[in-house]
Amino acid sequence: MTEQPKVRVLLLESIHPDAVSRLEEDGFQVESLRNALDEVELIERISGVNLLGIRSKTQVTAKVLEAADKLVGIGAFCIGTDQIDLAAASAGGVAVFNAPFSNTRSVVELAIAEIISLTRRLTEKNTLMHAGVWDKSADGAHEIRGRRLGIIGYGNIGTQLSVLAENLGMSVSFYDTSDKLALSNAHRCASLDELLESSDIVTMHVDGRPGNAGFFGAEQFAKMRPGSLFLNLSRGIVVDHLALRDALKSGRLAGAAVDVFPTEPKGRGDEFLSELRGLPNVILTPHIGGSTEEAQSDIGGFVANKLAKFVTEGNTSLSVNLPGVTLPELPGMHRIVHMHKNTPGVLAQVNRILADHHVNVEGQMLSTRGEYGYLITDIARGYPDEVLDQLRDMEQTVRLRVLN
């Protein structure tokens, strides 16, 4: 019997060792790189790779996916997936998984820490102390208790931040373009302007979809309360950093904390360039909102497990772009995974092909989502090759995989 080639995995951006260990458990061949790759570099490396793991810097474009001749799955070891061309991935039958909840707590704790640091002017005091200046004064230092926090984007992070902020004695307002249920005593604002005009601190927690590029600029900063604070721990492209710098230098804002930037260095040690460097009332962090050891370990294990289960069992539970299908394994069976265009009669056509060759279906599960359908079928071993040929030749077939 010919030995099956090992599943090749390429992990970028220093993904946690727990992910490597989990994938190697299933006998996969794993290569882990420290930095991100740009489009040209990734195209050169992607040939023959079955699974790709990235974080937020690597862009998986349509050109990359076109060059990915063996790719079946992508793991985004982070919350967002806007760095991946999901439409192109789906069209190629490539499943995408992420970790939508694993680093929520880490981002929220950083936001709380920065709110307290800015409100107490800890960064300025720290700088003076290191310069040998003893400036014991309460001027400009405040408690966060009783202040109003305005949260833009009331998703997983925004809601958890809302709860913790209230526990610390803050009042909370939020604005979201989707209907969201307010937690505890949080106030839903009817408009962004209402939130900006009433909040002492404004924090961004929106995604990086193209429509959000440049979402927050000079017009929005002008509507914020004089002396308020601004945080962005979401995506760098959503904020105009020149406008933020002007608002800080003019004194419109008392301070800001920024963790994400429109253009970020590829890796550790590379030079960081920003209009915000050198401003004394600004906390700058290198996109570390979710970078705690606990969060990265959780993300590594979670996403790696999803990728492994997809390769070995075909399960797509919690996939970002494919219908979610989970079918318990039956011992001694062959599993056929059929991704197809979502048109009427596909299931009947698949089962007709199997019946014509006297192949009995032992287990089957189908789900559809938008343009695509995803079907897992367990059949007994010992069927003719014509079965697979006919399934691949179906007009609706996007991708056919045979497992076990």
Backbone phi and psi for residue 399, each to the nearest 5 degrees, phi listed first: -155, 140
Give the integer Cα–Cα distance in Å for 402 and 404: 7
Measured CA to CA in angstroms, residue 36 lies from 73, 84, 113, 236 at distances of 18, 14, 28, 17
> Global pTM?
0.82
Q: Specify the pLDDT at position 115.
A: 98
Q: Specify the pLDDT at position 56.
A: 87
**Strand, helix or coil at 352?**
helix
Q: Specify the pLDDT at position 1.
A: 36
> Could you tell me the sign of the dihedral formed by the alpha carbons of 192, 149, 241, 53, in that order?
negative
Map out the domains of the chain as residue ranges: 1-103+292-322, 104-284, 323-397
Measured CA to CA in angstroms, residue 272 lies from 35, 159, 213, 268 at distances of 15, 31, 21, 10
Q: Specify the pLDDT at position 404.
A: 76
Return the CATH number of the domain spanning residue range 1-103+292-322. 3.40.50.720
Vertex 41, ends 39 and 44: CA angle to 5°?
110
SS (HEC) of 32-95: ECCCCCCHHHHHHHHCCCCEEEECCCCCECHHHHHHCCCCCEEEECCCCCCCECHHHHHHCCCE
Q: Name the CATH superfamily, with its identifier, for domain 323-397.
A: ACT domain (3.30.70.260)
Domains 1-103+292-322 and 104-284 share a fold: yes
Dihedral class, residue 301 (left if φ above 0, else alpha if ψ from -120 to 50, else beta): alpha
Nearest CA to 111 out of 257, 273, 214 is that of: 257
Q: Specify the pLDDT at position 212.
A: 86
Q: Name the CATH superfamily, with its identifier, for domain 104-284.
A: NAD(P)-binding Rossmann-like Domain (3.40.50.720)
Helices (H), 181-281: 192-198, 218-223, 241-249
**Strand, helix or coil at 301?**
helix
Q: Specify the pLDDT at position 2.
A: 42
The residue written with tokens 């929220």 in the block is 108
> How do 372-380 and 333-341 pair as beta strands?
antiparallel
Return the biggest CA–CA distance within the chain.
87
Across the chain, which has 404 residues, the per-10-residue mean pLDDT values are: 75 95 96 95 97 95 97 94 95 95 92 97 92 93 96 95 98 95 95 98 91 92 97 95 97 96 86 93 93 92 97 96 94 94 96 96 96 96 92 97 89
Quick one: 96 exposed, middle or buried, by C-beta within 10 A (0-12, 13-18, 19+)? buried
Give the integer Cα–Cα distance in Å for 107 and 233: 7
Q: Specify the pLDDT at position 268.
A: 81
Which sequence positions are flagged as catalytic? 235, 264, 287
